[in-house]
Amino acid sequence: MSAQYTYVTNLYLHVFCGHSVNHVGHYSRSLWKASSRTHGVSESADNLKGHDIVGKFHNLLKGAAAAFALAGMALVATSASADLRPELQTVSAGPAPFTWSYNLTLSNAESIRTGDFVVIYDFAGYTGAFTTSAGWALTTQALGPMPVVSGAVTDTSVTNLILTYSGANVNGPLIGQPPSIVGSFTAGSIFGVPTSGTYEGMTHDNPLTTNGSNAVDTVQGNTFVPLNNTPEAGSLALLLPGLVPVGMAFRRRLKKA
């Protein structure tokens, strides 16, 4: 097995097994050196040239990994069942606070009437800033409301966003047509990294596509919400024993200076 083959194999596993894309460049250089030592390859001109070749490859793989991640996010966002769905559009660039922008889309099996709603569970770091399109109101609660049939597991210490409709009846599109946008909203968070979250809500059957039925319907699925990346108190406590000697060494260095 060649050094190049070992390098490419391990780099692929590193990228596509959950490691940060930002670490690919550093990790690839370490892998190349390790692979060269394992296979007895010297730092000759040919080897350095090979390093440059696989270096270019890792840049391509890095881009592919980013595209793969985005495609995965899109797949999760569109894999939910037909319903009233909050779809994340953009997250503003930093610094914090970040503005999270969503569209509310309606499938052909559903219609919305006054009082229908959708709940986005555990919107971490909510700042209280929001906007909504006409006909929609945004409120917050730690628990509900929850639909009649609910399988959601929610953290009561994290805010839930509730979008409630108060406009004229709106039916979803005809069968075969893509979901229609029936509203939009933004919400602020101190966090700017998306993670998979859960939503549920209540709508009505679309009488045009369900043989005239207008029964109450429960909707649920996945959307993207802010990831709470604040270190836990326990994690910080584990760091303290190591920070003390570092601080003392830094203090001694300042005294010598």
* Mean pLDDT calculated for residue range 140-150: 70
At residue 226 the predicted structure's pLDDT band, cuts being 50, 70 and 90, is: very high
41-61 pLDDT per residue, tens: 554 544 544 445 545 544 554
Q: Is the pLDDT of residue 25 over 80?
A: no
69-88 pLDDT per residue, tens: 444 544 444 434 458 999 99
Residue 213 CA to residue 171 CA, distance in Å, equals 12
Residue 130 CA to residue 101 CA, distance in Å, equals 9
Specify burial of residue 178 (Cβ count, 10 A radius: 0-12, 13-18, 19+): exposed
**The pLDDT value given to residue 256:** 67
**The pLDDT value given to residue 90:** 98
**The pLDDT value given to residue 248:** 66
At residue 249 the predicted structure's pLDDT band, cuts being 50, 70 and 90, is: low
Residue 7 CA to residue 29 CA, distance in Å, equals 9
**The pLDDT value given to residue 204:** 93
Out of 59-63, 89-93, 248-252, the most confident range is 89-93
**The pLDDT value given to residue 8:** 40
Topology of domain 81-226, per CATH?
Immunoglobulin-like (2.60.40)
Beta-carbon contacts of residue 130 (< 8 Å; ≥ 6 apart): 138, 161, 185, 186, 187, 188
Residue 240 CA to residue 17 CA, distance in Å, equals 30
Assessment of whether the complete model's pTM goes beyond 0.75: no
**The pLDDT value given to residue 128:** 97
Residue 115 CA to residue 163 CA, distance in Å, equals 10
**The pLDDT value given to residue 142:** 85
* Mean pLDDT calculated for residue range 125-148: 88
**The pLDDT value given to residue 257:** 62
Residue 232 is given by DSSP the state P
Lowest mean pLDDT among 2-11, 102-111, 243-252: 2-11
Mean pLDDT in the chain?
A: 74
Q: Is the pLDDT of residue 202 over 50?
A: yes
